[in-house]
Structure 1
Amino acid sequence: MADAPKKSKGKLIFKGDKEHKKKKRKRPEAKDQGHEGGGSDEGWVRADELDDLVGPLFITHPSDPPICFTVDDDDRLLAYPIPEQSQTEPLIVNQVFVGARLIGTSNTFTFKSSNGKYLSSDKFGVVSADREAISGLEEWEPTLTEAGFAFKNTHGKFLMADEIAGGGFKIRADSEDVGFCETFRIYCQARFKLKAKRDKKKSKKEGSSTNELENVKRYQSWGGGRLHMSREDKRKLKEAREEGRVAEAMLDRRAKVKSDRYCK
């Protein structure tokens, strides 16, 4: 009677087969996850786009000497000289502001101090950091320049660092144009910058197809929730997203394919 095949961990071994010895492979050294994808997620880095202004911020100006925004315990905004050993990150919590994008807008922000009060400017250009609630006076519109950021208040005037007689600087918001005095260097925490980049990359990768698929599943009453999209449709939606009219394009498309009876 022939010998029955032997089982070894799910693999069949027959009589006469030679056993192959497994070669030991060296495992590659583990990469530092904090540096994977470019850059560390620790410390402070230069903000270079509007999305970087969401989260903790260190607001500076490249004057001589360099200054940073500092709020004392009495909610007074100071243009504090920066020590040479701390040009890119705050030394105390009083030098940290938290930026937030106003809901429903793309380029309107508020900036809250460590005391929980908001940075504001009145119609005379007087800047303070003692407002507890958000109104038009606490709204700022940042603009990216070649050297940093400029901030326009609700009255259409720009924030500036003004050198005063006898030395020192004062923060005002009554400038008509953007120049050296109106340009600020902002530093943000690296972990927030990397997170914003990952979210932006993921959103761009998913594109409009994902958005439409969600709408199809929600409103479409025929086709079993399947997405009907050609290459031409994807191209048109991509162009609409770049032009800032993706919602309008998706509404037109739903009307065309009759997937939403409420879109007409």
Structure 2
Amino acid sequence: MAEYSNVKSGKLVLKGEKTGSHKKRKHKKQNRDKEDMPVKDEDALKHGGWWKVKQIEEMTGSIAVEFGNQTYVKALDNGLFTLGAPHSEELKVACAGEGPSPEEVLTAFNVNDVKVALKSGYGKYLRVDKDGAVTGRSDAVGPMEQWEPIFQDGKLALLGCNGCFMSVAPDDDSVVATSKKVGSDEIVKVRSHAVKEVTPGSKLPEEEKGSLAQVEVNYVRKFQKFQDKKLRVNRSDRSELEQARQEGNLHEALLDRRSKMKADRYCK
């Protein structure tokens, strides 16, 4: 019995089976390093670095509305909108695609949790006129200047104030909102040129991936206590969150902002 107890116990090794080696562990480490590397967005590369928006929280700042492939909504100096000329997916010099032109760049603002306002490069807000034409002639945002992005199954459509979705008229390429149903003509891509603050593939929790605005919304959704499920997001300046992230106390800063909105079951 004494001899039996002196035998070293270990993993069962079958005949013909090779034992593990340091090289195997090295390969595992290399695989982990590859997982941590930033994922290249080939689609954004083809569009000059303009990446596809996937949720309303990302629809802020400079954006472009794309119909089809490489063709964007273009503002005219008379307040109307049309479909711009196609852009190249690959430039000979830069080895990357061409982004939207300046007149095809809009500015998006979050009006609330479900609607946005869009402003053209001429400083006017987009709305839908009585005849269904999309125009940019408003100086302020009212009910007529609000758009609701509808995300479903990885696709996006923009719902106007008249209950119709944005599309392009087939006869003259003018931008209109005349259809109450979504078909292939009403499907758009909204692209943003904002710098993503967290690279894909990082080991951060899902709630902390994305922009600071998106992170704050994620945590409000996770901890909110309201039965009506309506978000109460602090709209004050988020510069303090950037500093908190750098100092390593982002969670405390987010909790403090939520406590001011009384939107957290952990708040007093």
Say if 2:164 is the partner of 1:151.
no
Q: CA contact under 8 A between 2:54 and 2:154: conserved in structure 1?
A: no
SS of the residue corresponding to residue 203 of structure 1 reads helix
Aligned match for 1:79, one of 64, 67, 83? 83
Aligned match for 2:110, one of 101, 119, 123? 101
Q: Which residue of structure 2 lines up, in the alignment, with residue 199 of structure 1?
A: 212
Say if 2:131 is the partner of 1:136.
no
Decide whether aligned partners of structure 1 residues 139 and 203 sit closer, same or farther in structure 2, where only a CA change above 3 A counts: closer
Q: Comparing 190-199 with 110-119, which one deviates more in the overlay? A: 190-199
Q: CA contact under 8 A between 1:150 and 1:158: conserved in structure 2?
A: yes
Say if 2:178 is the partner of 1:174.
yes
Decide whether aligned partners of structure 1 residues 192 and 133 sit closer, same or farther in structure 2, where only a CA change above 3 A counts: farther
TM-score scaled to structure 1, two decimals? 0.57
Q: CA contact under 8 A between 1:44 and 1:89: conserved in structure 2?
A: no
Letter in 1 for 2:150: T
Give the CA deviation at 1:192: 5.3
Cα-Cα RMSD: 3.9
Aligned match for 1:57, one of 60, 63, 71? 63
Give the CA deviation at 1:130: 2.2
Identity %: 17
Aligned match for 1:112, one of 106, 114, 119? 119
SS of the residue corresponding to residue 51 of structure 1 reads helix
More strand by proportion, 1 or 2?
Answer: 1
Give the CA deviation at 1:152: 1.1
Decide whether aligned partners of structure 1 residues 182 and 91 sit closer, same or farther in structure 2, where only a CA change above 3 A counts: closer
Q: Which residue of structure 1 lines up, in the alignment, with residue 73 of structure 2?
A: 69
Deviations 1:218-264 (A, max 9, x none): xxxxxxxxxxxxxxxxxxx83736972687xx68979xx9x6xxxxx
Q: Give the whole-Å Cα distance in 1 for the aligned partners of 2:263 and 2:66.
A: 44
SS of the residue corresponding to residue 181 of structure 1 reads helix
Give the CA deviation at 1:75: 3.2
Give the CA deviation at 1:100: 0.5
Give the CA deviation at 1:158: 1.2
Structure (1 or 2) with the larger CA radius of gyration = 1
Q: Give the whole-Å Cα distance in 1 for the aligned partners of 2:220 and 2:224.
A: 11
Unaligned 5+ residue runs, structure 1?
1-34, 209-236, 260-264
Decide whether aligned partners of structure 1 residues 245 and 115 sit closer, same or farther in structure 2, where only a CA change above 3 A counts: closer
Q: Give the whole-Å Cα distance in 2 for the aligned partners of 1:253 and 1:146.
A: 31
Q: Give the whole-Å Cα distance in 1 for the aligned partners of 2:38 and 2:56.
A: 21
Q: Which residue of structure 2 lines up, in the alignment, with residue 244 of structure 1?
A: 229
Q: Give the whole-Å Cα distance in 1 for the aligned partners of 2:229 and 2:107.
A: 28
SS of the residue corresponding to residue 174 of structure 2 reads strand
Unaligned 5+ residue runs, structure 2?
1-35, 91-95, 200-208, 233-261
Q: CA contact under 8 A between 1:50 and 1:142: conserved in structure 2?
A: yes
Say if 2:164 is the partner of 1:160.
no
Alignment coverage as a number of residue pairs: 186
Decide whether aligned partners of structure 1 residues 199 and 38 sit closer, same or farther in structure 2, where only a CA change above 3 A counts: farther
Q: Which residue of structure 2 lines up, in the alignment, with residue 223 of structure 1?
A: none
Letter in 1 for 2:83: A
Q: Give the whole-Å Cα distance in 1 for the aligned partners of 2:218 and 2:190.
A: 28
Q: Give the whole-Å Cα distance in 2 for the aligned partners of 1:49 and 1:189.
A: 15
Decide whether aligned partners of structure 1 residues 36 and 149 sit closer, same or farther in structure 2, where only a CA change above 3 A counts: same
TM-score scaled to structure 2, two decimals? 0.56
Q: CA contact under 8 A between 1:240 and 1:246: conserved in structure 2?
A: no
Q: CA contact under 8 A between 2:132 and 2:178: conserved in structure 1?
A: yes
Q: CA contact under 8 A between 1:116 and 1:132: conserved in structure 2?
A: yes
Q: Which residue of structure 2 lines up, in the alignment, with residue 232 of structure 1?
A: none
